[in-house]
């Protein structure tokens, strides 16, 4: 242990020296990049006064606050994490076109961030020099209550959508996620999953139009982009194809009264396995108005023993969280008939408006007002890792027993079961790039959070969630083992966009998109043949382009080399 601590101390000292050296070497490079980028934007008819308010170099005191505000995973919130050479925060849609064109001319990578909830941080980190395009200033929402539609810019949050709907109507809603700080651009283009999917499907199933900036800087809508590209950005991830500016969404009608419940059952003294077995058999088949999420967590309970005193016991807590689009009387009748093992009682059920259910699902206290949904930053972030699976066949009683024992032994990993069925089962797998439809009983999210800093602690938690994921192999989908794009997971494959780009992309692409992957590749090859819009898990082109354009480069290649060498040297020290 002393050796490890000594080695860690030496690495830290050496890293500090390298960081100082890199800062000294790259100070001029950053200025060169900034000046060249600004000059390029000027040639695109953006006034200097506007440029100074949207382009930030690392020398700008606002650079770090802007970068850090929307980092939602503390794993990517430290001084060793790669940072952009520039941050650009457009306030008008036409500015995005110029930003794309100038980034192309600079021969740098472009990363696009709308809310920062990407679990692997790939919207704001990279292993090569990059420019980060942050969409948070583009968050206008234009409601048309009479048409029951809205145009929502990519930088808006889900909470802002819900709040704006509520200010105009008590009887309209939108099927999207329960976390109110999630950005629209990534959430919707990746599928958009929420607690009304059994009634109304995914967010992308309710997208009517879109505006996007393509690789040539053109602002396109559904008509001008064509149905193939429009299809691709409805679940295939927008960042592979362009910059999503806005979506036109169809609002849905919700009842005046909805019902919420959250009940807990414990493995040591209640029939948890019986309830979960029954839940598996009915949760995807019950009335479409009802969505019941199941959260499995390892906990430690304290028991009093007359002879041995207090004793801690490790067990499982199963939490059933529901949204029912109706009143509690009808809900009680449904649950008692279809899921009697749960033992739901009237006192468990709380009737409320739809907007209040949004607040409750977002973990606000029941006295919170809807205006709280406009808080874009939310709670302080944790260190975290997520993984996903899909289940097509019910897990046996013995299987569940083994899973619960594994969860208890690992102590740190929680599992969330989200039921499908209903509207999800009515939509063809190829209707959108999101393919996990008819045969899915429920989706699994594996989650681990921690607050302690340090490499050893991180490795321990990552090891636990990967162990749990491997243990689940016999119980989940296979060939491919499916995964959900918006639960981004770099463990299942990454792409360095070299000569094997298509083969590398197929590894993770078939897990996210199944048979839709090949069509996504064709669309990508047609609309972005030089693979400008790329990230660690983007859609590849059919044939790799070895020669990237570098005409009219905004700055010299030596600037990139200086930054790149610093990144490589830091990586060697750290790993």
Q: What is the pLDDT of residue 554?
A: 41
Residue 171: Cβ-neighbour burial (10 angstroms; 0-12, 13-18, 19+): middle
- CB contact at 8 A, 345 and 263: no
Domain boundary residue, one of 429, 445, 472: 472
Mean pLDDT of 536-558: 61
* 404 and 462 assigned to the same domain: yes
Q: What is the pLDDT of residues 341-357, one digit of tens each?
A: 999 999 999 999 999 99
Identify whether residues 220 and 334 lie together within a single domain: no
Residues 346 and 465 in one domain: yes
Candidates 70, 487, 508, 512; catalytic one: 487
- Please indicate, yes or no, whether residues 289 and 391 belong to a single structural domain of this protein: yes
d(CA 300, CA 316): 8
Q: Do the domain assignments include residue 32?
A: yes
Across 159-168, 282-291, 305-314, least confident range? 305-314
Q: Do 414 and 332 sit in the same domain of this protein?
A: yes
pLDDT tier at 303 (50, 70, 90 boundaries)?
A: low
pLDDT, position 10: 43
Residues 6+ apart with CB under 8 A from 22: 562, 563, 566, 569, 570
- C-beta of residue 177 within 8 angstroms of C-beta of residue 158: yes
Instruction: Write down the pTM of the prediction.
Output: 0.90
Q: What pLDDT is recorded for position 268?
A: 72
> What's the rounded mean pLDDT across residues 302-319?
77
Residue at token pair 């009264």 = 257
Angle between helices 158-168 and 354-361 (to 10 degrees): 160
Query: Average pLDDT of 508-516?
Result: 98
Q: What is the CATH number of the domain that holds 285?
A: 3.40.462.20
339 and 190 within one domain: no
Contacts of 325 (CB under 8 A, 6+ apart): 196, 199, 254, 255, 258, 289, 290
Residue 61 has pLDDT above 70, yes or no: yes
Does residue 331 contact residue 349 with C-beta atoms inside 8 Å? yes
What residue numbers bound the domain in which 122 lies? 20-134
Q: Are residues 315 and 181 in the same domain?
A: no
pLDDT, residue 574, reads 38
pLDDT, residue 543, reads 80
Round the average pLDDT of the chain to a whole number and report it.
Answer: 90
Largest CA distance in the chain: 83
Same domain for 290 and 438, yes or no, is yes
- Based on the domain organization, do 237 and 342 belong to the same domain? no
Last residue of a domain, one of 472, 496, 521: 472
Specify the 3-state DSSP secondary structure of 555: coil
CB-CB contact of 485 with 237 (8 Å): yes
Q: Is residue 287 part of a domain?
A: yes
- Please say if 487 is a catalytic residue: yes
Residue 292 lies in a domain: yes
Q: Mind listing the pLDDT tens digit for each residue in 91-113?
A: 999 999 999 999 999 999 999 99
> How many domains are there within the chain?
3
Q: What percent of the chain has pLDDT over 70?
A: 88
Per DSSP, the residues of 442-477 read EEEEEEEEE---SHHHHHHHHHHHHHHHHHTGGGS-
65: pLDDT strictly greater than 50: yes
């Amino acid at each position: 242990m002393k050796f490890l601590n000594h080695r860690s101390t030496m690495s830290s000292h050496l890293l500090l020296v390298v960081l100082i050296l890199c800062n000294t070497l790259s100070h001029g490079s950053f200025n060169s990049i900034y000046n060249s980028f600004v000059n390029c934007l000027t040639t695109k008819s953006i006034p200097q006064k506007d440029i100074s308010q949207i382009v930030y170099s690392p020398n700008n005191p606002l650079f770090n606050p802007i970068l850090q505000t929307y980092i939602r995973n503390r794993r990517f919130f430290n001084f060793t994490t790669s940072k952009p050479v520039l941050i650009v925060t457009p306030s008008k849609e036409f500015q995005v076109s110029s930003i794309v064109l100038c980034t192309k001319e600079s021969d740098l990578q472009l990363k696009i961030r709308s809310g920062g909830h990407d679990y692997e941080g790939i919207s704001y980190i990279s292993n090569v020099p990059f420019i980060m395009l942050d969409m948070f200033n583009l968050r206008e929402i234009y409601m048309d209550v009479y048409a029951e539609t809205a145009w929502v810019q990519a930088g808006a949050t889900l909470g802002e959508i819900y709040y704006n709907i509520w200010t105009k109507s008590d009887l309209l809603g939108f099927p999207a996620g329960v976390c109110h700080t999630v950005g629209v651009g990534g959430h919707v283009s990746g599928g958009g999953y929420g607690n009304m999917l059994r009634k109304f499907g995914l967010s992308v199933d309710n997208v009517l139009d879109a505006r996007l900036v393509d690789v040539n800087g053109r602002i396109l809508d559904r008509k001008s982009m064509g149905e193939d590209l429009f299809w691709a950005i409805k679940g295939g991830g927008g960042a592979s194809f362009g910059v999503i500016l806005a979506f036109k969404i169809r609002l849905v009608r919700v009842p005046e009264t909805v019902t919420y419940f959250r009940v807990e059952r414990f493995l040591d003294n209640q029939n948890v396995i019986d309830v979960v077995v029954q839940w598996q058999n009915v949760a995807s088949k019950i009335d479409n108005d009802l969505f019941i999420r199941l959260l499995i967590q390892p906990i430690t309970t304290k028991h009093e023993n007359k002879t041995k005193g207090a004793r801690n016991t490790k067990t499982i807590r199963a939490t059933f969280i529901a949204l029912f689009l109706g009143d509690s009387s009808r809900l009680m009748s449904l649950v008692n008939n279809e899921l009697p093992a749960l033992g739901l009682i009237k006192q468990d059920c709380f009737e409320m408006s739809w907007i209040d259910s949004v607040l409750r699902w977002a973990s606000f206290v029941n006295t919170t007002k809807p205006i709280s949904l406009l808080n874009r930053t939310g709670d302080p972030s944790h260190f975290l890792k997520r993984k996903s699976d899909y289940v097509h066949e019910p897990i046996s009683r013995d299987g569940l027993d083994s899973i619960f024992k594994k969860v208890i032994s690992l102590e740190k990993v929680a599992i969330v079961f989200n039921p499908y069925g209903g509207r999800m089962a009515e939509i063809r797998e190829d209707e959108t790039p999101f393919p996990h439809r008819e045969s899915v009983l429920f989706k699994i999210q594996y989650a681990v959070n921690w607050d302690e800093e340090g490499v050893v602690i991180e490795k321990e938690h990552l090891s636990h969630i990967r162990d749990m994921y491997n243990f689940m192999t016999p119980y989940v989908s296979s060939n491919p083992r499916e995964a959900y794009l918006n639960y981004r997971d770099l463990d299942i494959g990454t792409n360095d966009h070299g000569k094997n780009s298509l083969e590398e992309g197929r590894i993770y692409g078939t897990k996210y998109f199944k048979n839709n992957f090949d069509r996504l590749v064709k669309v990508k090859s047609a609309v972005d043949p030089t693979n400008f819009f790329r990230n660690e898990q983007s859609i590849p082109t059919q044939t790799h382009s070895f020669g990237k354009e570098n005409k009219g480069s905004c700055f010299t290649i030596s600037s990139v080399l200086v930054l790149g060498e610093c990144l490589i040297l830091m990586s060697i020290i750290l790993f």
